[in-house]
Amino acid sequence: MPMRVSVLLPGLALLVIASLDGARATELALSGIVGGRAVLVVDNGPPQLLAVGKSTPDGVRLLSLEGDTAIIELEGRRQTLRMGERVVRRDDAGGAGVGALTGEEARKILARGVEITIESNASGHFLTDGEINGRRVHFLVDTGASVVAIGRSTAQGLGLELDDEQMSKAHTAGGVVNTWRVTLKSLKIGGMRFDNIDAAVVQADMPQVLLGMNVLERMEMRRDGKLMRLKKKL
């Protein structure tokens, strides 16, 4: 059975648009384009999937989509959103100014409403793609693993250095094997990123990387039949 993975926030563009009366600013993020529809986040709210020609309850209307660009209308004003764009801020005169999105701002925004939905396969396992240190890997969600576990050949492909001083023994179903303790600079699943993650490299080869509890405990997990929803905790 093919896996169905739904990623709500694969990228990010952010606009902060002054309202016409100058009393407030609307924060608007284009967080993805899925099936010809835009995923928008308005003023810290949950992601909203919007078709062309439709409007959110907040009054944001999607006029068109082209590539990674969305044209929206808010309070009679048209704006262009591109994923990865700079922040548009209200300046002192009440107009629009452009400034850089800081790393801390980006992390906070990316944490809002980030959720993936994974469908189990015929064996009842939950598998999804992700990244370790910027390189693509296949994850198996494993609540029985205390830490992220990686097979040795996969670790070598990721360029991880195995220090014999960090080697220990582990008891597995296949017997006692050598393991090495490593630290992953980054781990990504869907739109969620985790930095400086402890992991164990197992001497044996494994078809997937085990997504262990040291990452899963930093997410909210919900199981609904064949579906598992993972959402980053704020």
Phi, psi of 215 (to 5 degrees): -100, -45
Binned at pLDDT 50, 70 and 90, residue 38 comes out as confident
Binned at pLDDT 50, 70 and 90, residue 115 comes out as confident
Does the structure show a pLDDT above 80 at 59? yes
Segment holding 154, helix H or strand E: helix 152-157
Q: What is the CATH number of domain 116-232?
A: 2.40.70.10
pLDDT tens-digit series, residues 12-31:
555 555 444 444 456 777 77
Does the structure show a pLDDT above 70 at 93? no
First to last CA, the chain: 33
The C-alpha atoms of residue 100 and residue 88 are separated, in whole angstroms, by: 9
The C-alpha atoms of residue 207 and residue 154 are separated, in whole angstroms, by: 9
Averaged pLDDT for residues 197-201: 95
For the chain, give every residue range classified as CATH 2.40.70.10.
116-232
Is 56:48 a contact under the CB 8 Å cutoff? yes
Edge-to-edge strands, sheet with 13-18: 13-18, 25-34, 37-42, 48-50
pLDDT attached to residue 44: 60
Least confident of 61-75, 131-145, 214-228: 61-75
Q: Take residue 162 and report the two structure tokens written for it.
A: 């195995």
Average predicted confidence (pLDDT) for the chain: 76
The C-alpha atoms of residue 7 and residue 110 are separated, in whole angstroms, by: 12
DSSP string, 58-118: TSEEEEEEETTEEEEEETTEEEEEETTPPEEEE-TTSSEEEEPPPHHHHHHHHHTT-EEEE
